[in-house]
Amino acid sequence: MEWLNILIQGGLLGGIYALFAIGLSLSFGIMRLVNIAHGDLIVLSAYVALVVVENTGLDPISSLVIVVPMMFALGYALQRGLLNFTLSGGLLPPLLVTFGISVIIQNSLLQGFGAYTHRLQQGAIETASLPIPGGIAVGVYPLLVFAVAVLAIAGLQLFFYRTRLGRAFRAVSDDADTAELMGIDNRKLFALALGIAMIFTALAGVLFAIRTNFDPAAGPIRLILAFEAVIIGGLGSLWGTLLGGMVLGIAQAVGAALSPTWQILAGHLAFLIILIVRPSGLFPRTRD
C-alpha cells in the first residue's frame, strides 16, 4: 500500500520538523524575534552532544541531561546579553544580528571541527522497526521522535495555560508594553523564553543528529524546514505547527517516491504553493 506508507513515513517526519519549529515559534510568539541563527543553534546542540558523548561515553540520548541545561543557559545569556538590545530598533537589528550570529556559529564550527560530517550513534533503536498490517514497517525511532514532539507540545500547552509563569508569557506575547506596565520584567522573561526555546532546540538537535548526518553547514536547511512547518501550519498555534510539519513531511515523501533527489524540493514547492494560495497557513490562530 504505497500511499499509506507515504502518509505514515511523511507524517512521522512531522515530528522532527515540529521539534525544529518549536524554538522558532516561541521566539517569535513571545519576542517577535525571527532567529536566523535558529538552525545553526540546532546544529550547535548536535556538536555539543558529540563532544559530550566522546568525552563521557554516554549515549546521545543520555547526553541530553548535560546538553539541554547547557543550551538553556546559552539561550538565556544570548537573549539577556545580546538579543534584548536589538528589539527596539525596528526590523533590521534583530534580523541582521541573528544573521551575524548564524555566520559566526557556522564558521566557528567549521574552524573547530572541520567540514567532515558526523552522526550520533544511538545503537539498535536507529534501525528497529514495527511491522503493522498492510506489510508496512514503521520505524521505531521516527515513532519515538514523533511521540517526543507530541509530549513537548502538550507539555508547553500545560505550561502556558496552567502556570503563573506561563500566564505571564501569554500576556507578554499579547502585549509586551502593557505586560511591563503590569509589573512583568520583560528582559528577564525574554531571556527565559529563549532559554526554554533552546531546551527544545537542543532536543531537536540531538534527536535529528542520531538519524541524519550533520556538518557545520547543516544549519540553514533546518531553519528553512522549521520555518516552512510554521508557515504551512499557520502562525500562533503549536499544534498547528505539528500539523504543518506533517504536511511538509508528506509532501516530501511524495516527492521522494517519485525520485529520491526530489524530496527536499517537493517540500519547498508545497510550501510556496500554500504560501501563494493560503498565506495564513492551513490551521492558523487569528493573531499574529
Which of 103, 128, 137, 151 touches another protein (CB under 8 A)? Answer: 103
Which of 1, 4, 73, 82 touches another protein (CB under 8 A)? Answer: 82
Instruction: Give the binding range for another protein (CB under 8 A) out of 47-55, 165-173, 195-203, 246-254.
Output: 165-173
- Note whether 117 and 214 are within 8 A (CB): yes
Residue whose cell numbers read 505571564: 168
DSSP-assigned beta bridge partners for residue 118: 214
Which of 7, 58, 144, 224 touches another protein (CB under 8 A)? Answer: 224
Element (H, E) at 102: helix 92-113
- Note whether 74 and 198 are within 8 A (CB): yes
Please state the length of the chain. 288
Tell whether residue 162 is a contact of another protein (CB under 8 A): no
Residue 222 to residue 97: CA distance in whole angstroms: 19
Which of 5, 7, 34, 70 touches another protein (CB under 8 A)? Answer: 34
Element (H, E) at 137: strand 136-139
Residue 243 to residue 160: CA distance in whole angstroms: 20
Residue (167 or 211) nearer to another protein, CB = 167
Tell whether residue 108 is a contact of another protein (CB under 8 A): yes
Residues in contact with another protein by the rule CB under 8 A:
34, 36, 82, 85-86, 88-97, 99-101, 103-104, 107-108, 110-111, 164, 167-168, 170-171, 173-175, 177-186, 220-221, 223-224, 227-228, 231, 261-262, 264-265, 268-269, 271-272, 275-276, 279, 287
